[in-house]
Structure 1
Amino acid sequence: MIRIVIADDHPLIREGLRRILEFEDGIEVVAEVGDGQGAINVARNNMFDILLMDLNMPGVNGLDAGRVIRRECPHIGILVLTVDDSDEKIFQVLQLGVAGYLLKDVDSKTLIHSIRKVYSGEPILSPTVTGKLLEQFTQPSPLKNTCGLSEREMEILYYVVRGSSNREIGTALFISEKTVKNHLSSIYRKLAVEDRTQAALKAVKLKFVQLD
Structure 2
Amino acid sequence: MIRVVIADDHPLLREGLRRILSFEEGIEVVEEVGDGQGAINITRKIPFDVLLMDLNMPGVNGLDACRVIRREKPNIGILVLTVDDSDEKVFEVLQLGVAGYLLKDVDPKTLIESIHKVYIGEPILSPAVTGKLLGQLAHPIPPKENYGLSARELDILNYVVRGASNKEIGGALYISEKTVKNHLSSIFRKLDVEDRTQAALKAVKLKLVDLN
Contact 2:140-2:208 at 8 Å conserved across structures = no
TM-score (norm 1): 0.98
Q: Distance in 1 between matches of 2:21 and 2:128?
A: 24
Contact 1:37-1:59 at 8 Å conserved across structures = yes
Q: Distance in 2 between matches of 1:34 and 1:144?
A: 49
Any idea what SS the aligned residue of 2:201 has?
Answer: helix
Structure 2 alignment gaps of length 5 or more: none
Any idea what SS the aligned residue of 1:79 has?
Answer: strand
Q: Does 1:57 align with 2:54?
A: no
Q: Distance in 2 between matches of 1:3 and 1:183?
A: 32
TM-score (norm 2): 0.98
Any idea what SS the aligned residue of 1:137 has?
Answer: coil
Q: Distance in 1 between matches of 2:149 and 2:143?
A: 13
User: What is the CA distance between 1:141 and its match in structure 2?
Assistant: 3.0
What is the one-letter code of the residue matched to 2:9? D
Q: Distance in 2 between matches of 1:57 and 1:154?
A: 39
Structure 1 alignment gaps of length 5 or more: none
Identify the residue that residue 44 of structure 2 maps to in structure 1.
44
What is the 5 A alignment of 1:85-104? 85-104=85-104
Q: Give the length in aligned residue pairs.
A: 212
Identify the residue that residue 196 of structure 2 maps to in structure 1.
196
Q: Distance in 1 between matches of 2:188 and 2:208?
A: 14
Identify the residue that residue 26 of structure 1 maps to in structure 2.
26
Q: Distance in 1 between matches of 2:90 and 2:148?
A: 27
* Dislocated runs of 4+, deviation >6 Å: none
User: What is the CA distance between 1:144 and its match in structure 2?
Assistant: 4.6
What is the 5 A alignment of 1:135-154? 135-154=135-154
Any idea what SS the aligned residue of 2:178 has?
Answer: helix
Q: Deviations over 1:158-211 (max 9, x none)?
A: 111111111111001000000001111111111011111111110010000111
User: What is the CA distance between 1:139 and its match in structure 2?
Assistant: 2.8
Contact 1:49-1:77 at 8 Å conserved across structures = yes
RMSD (Å), alpha carbons: 0.9
Q: Does 1:11 align with 2:11?
A: yes
What is the one-letter code of the residue matched to 1:173? L
Q: Does 1:164 align with 2:167?
A: no
Q: Deviations over 1:45-90 (max 9, x none)?
A: 1110000010000010000000000010000000000000000000
Q: Does 1:175 align with 2:175?
A: yes
Contact 2:138-2:207 at 8 Å conserved across structures = no
Identical residues among aligned pairs (%): 80
Any idea what SS the aligned residue of 2:136 has?
Answer: helix
Q: Distance in 1 between matches of 2:98 and 2:181?
A: 19
User: What is the CA distance between 1:145 and its match in structure 2?
Assistant: 2.1
What is the one-letter code of the residue matched to 1:157? L
